[in-house]
């Protein structure tokens, strides 16, 4: 569901410093909002303050939201805390793999697509071979 950015009310947040928003803003600008902002039935922000600030900086008039029925202050705090604490960042090895795959799929043209397909096939073959 989309609502006006200006209709979202921000009150009493756990996080006091939003930190550097540049990376998140760039991500939203390039890929869109991947995870909706969470609000309650009264349009009060439950989680996603950094995302909300970024869409404001980008000049968005409307934003995707998910509405939850928050029944208590304790539940509101629990949701905000969970969304910010229950993440698992990539390991260094996973980051390296992501960069490798991005390079592979950045090749343009038919030769680049063939190269990427061959590399995928090679990786599949080796994973199949060592699983057996």
Please give the tally of structural domains in the chain.
Answer: 2
Q: How confident is the model at residue 41 (pLDDT cuts 50, 70, 90)?
A: very high
Mean pLDDT for 14-23 is 93
**Which residues lie closer than 8 Å to 102 by C-beta, 6 or more apart?**
none
84 within domain boundaries: no
Residue 122 falls within a domain, yes or no? yes
Q: CA–CA separation, 42 vs 111, rounded Å?
A: 54
> Which residues of the chain form beta strands (DSSP E)?
2-4, 37-39, 45-47, 62-67
Same domain as 115, residue 63: no
Q: Does 22 reside within a domain?
A: yes
Are residues 3 and 60 both part of a single domain? yes
> Domain of 123?
89-131
Among 36, 70, 104, give the residue marking a domain's end.
70
Full-model pTM:
0.77
**Number of separate helices (H) and strands (E) present in the chain:** 5, 4
For residue 132, pLDDT over 70 is answered with no
């Amino acid at each position: 569901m989309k609502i006006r950015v200006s209709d979202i009310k921000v009150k009493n947040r756990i996080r006091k410093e939003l930190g550097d928003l540049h990376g998140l803003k760039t991500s939203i600008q390039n890929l869109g909002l991947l995870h909706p902002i969470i609000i309650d039935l009264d349009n009060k922000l439950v989680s996603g303050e950094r995302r909300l600030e970024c869409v404001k900086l980008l000049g968005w008039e409307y934003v995707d939201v998910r509405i939850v029925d928050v029944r208590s202050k304790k539940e509101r705090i629990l949701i905000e805390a969970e969304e910010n604490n229950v993440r698992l960042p990539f390991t260094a090895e996973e980051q390296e793999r992501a960069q490798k795959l991005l390079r592979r799929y950045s090749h343009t043209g038919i030769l680049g697509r063939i190269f990427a397909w061959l590399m995928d096939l090679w990786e599949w073959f080796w994973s199949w071979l060592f699983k057996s």
